[in-house]
Amino acid sequence: MLEKLFSLGYSKTFAERYYQLWGERALAIAEAMEKPLPRCFRVNTLRIEVPKLTKLLNKKGFQFKRVPWAREGFCLTREPFSITSTPEYLSGLLYIQEASSMYPPVALDPKPGETVADMAVAPGGKTSYLAQLMENEGIIYAFDVGEERLKETRLNLSRLGVTNTVLFHRSSLYIDELGVEFDKILLDAPCTGSGTIHKNPERKANRTMEDVKFCQGLQMKLLEKGLSVLKKGGILVYSTCSLEPEENEFVIQWVLDNFNVELLPLRYGELALTKPFGIELSEEIAKARRFYPDRHGTSGFFVAKIKKL
């Protein structure tokens, strides 16, 4: 079993960790990540209604199935030519977005008129979905440190007709300097990306436990900042595309131990791990969710919904 993980290119450290976490299933997860994901898209309801766009695409020979957790989301089952070369794509009627990354905005459920923060915006997929769910009403404060990625974000938001978002070329570690209290916050946190091997195969061998610990430290700092500017009763959704419990369940356990919050249950995905590596965590952690490539046909993904008390 470990030999098979080695043969796929995983380092000894991570092969052994994954076997500890999932046993024989670790190989199924790893093999699923060797295959490309289905191409998925989200209908941009700021510009067109869902039935209208699906009809237009069907006429051109595109076939797709609905993403269970996103009423505007679909995954292609037949793509007669690249959907990104269609007038529908070019005019911002749809956005290419991986199915699992549609879930955090849906889980956050922002309403028109609310004050929302997106603490790591680029390239804008989740932000534009937030704006769509808010019907372009209210305001989104969106942060990112990457200048080039912010340029891409600006272009995406413009093409999609998003008008309620203010972009900041700055780390959201400085979010408190705005002096704003937020109804809802999305933190799709910087992470090791171990759930995205299908597009980053080099991460099988070149990640170390130091990388995991570095990301965990940053994730905790960002969560602390986010919770400090969240209104009482406000919601923060935390997500990563990492498989590592240190970046997911252990971070959420730290939040439960150090802040006056509760976890809210999520409907989709598998229950988060409550005994990773034999370490007993709060049963509350099972309210968070994991998505796996072998069962959900997505990247490896983690989502938790936190309410400030």
pLDDT of residue 87: 96
Mean pLDDT of the chain: 95
Whether residue 294 is annotated as binding a ligand: the answer is no
Mean pLDDT, residues 89-106 taken together: 96
Return all residues near 263 (Cβ < 8 A) that are at least 6 apart: 252, 256, 284, 285, 287, 288, 304, 305, 306, 307
What confidence tens digit (pLDDT) does each residue in 106-131 have?
999 999 999 999 999 888 899 999 99
Return all residues near 73 (Cβ < 8 A) that are at least 6 apart: 40, 41, 42, 43, 66, 67, 97, 99, 102
Residue 152 in tokens:
């891409």
Choose between 7 and 246: higher pLDDT. 246
Verify whether residue 40 is a known catalytic residue. no
The answer to whether residues 165 and 131 touch, using CB atoms and an 8 Å cutoff, is yes
Please tell me the pTM assigned to this model: 0.96
Catalytic residue among 40, 191, 215, 241: 241
Return the number of other C-beta atoms located less than 10 Å from residue 149's C-beta: 16
The answer to whether residues 238 and 303 touch, using CB atoms and an 8 Å cutoff, is yes
pLDDT of residue 4: 81
The answer to whether residues 144 and 169 touch, using CB atoms and an 8 Å cutoff, is yes
pLDDT of residue 269: 96
The answer to whether residues 195 and 301 touch, using CB atoms and an 8 Å cutoff, is yes
- Is residue 59's pLDDT more than 80? yes
Mean pLDDT, residues 282-298 taken together: 96
Domains of the chain in sequence order: 100-308 (3.40.50.150)
Return all residues near 108 (Cβ < 8 A) that are at least 6 apart: 116, 130, 184, 185, 186, 235, 237, 305
pLDDT of residue 146: 84
Mean pLDDT, residues 133-144 taken together: 97
**Percent of the chain beyond pLDDT 90?**
88
Return the number of other C-beta atoms located less than 10 Å from residue 181's C-beta: 12
- Is residue 266's pLDDT more than 90? yes
Residue 277 in tokens:
């590596």
- Is residue 1's pLDDT more than 90? no
Of 43-47, 167-171, 184-188, 249-253, the range with the lowest mean pLDDT is 167-171
Which DSSP string do the residues of 190-219 spell out, in sequence order?
----TT-TTT-TTHHHH--HHHHHHHHHHH
Whether residue 144 is annotated as binding a ligand: the answer is yes
What confidence tens digit (pLDDT) does each residue in 164-214 have?
999 999 999 999 999 999 999 999 999 999 999 998 888 888 889 999 999
Return the number of other C-beta atoms located less than 10 Å from residue 163's C-beta: 11
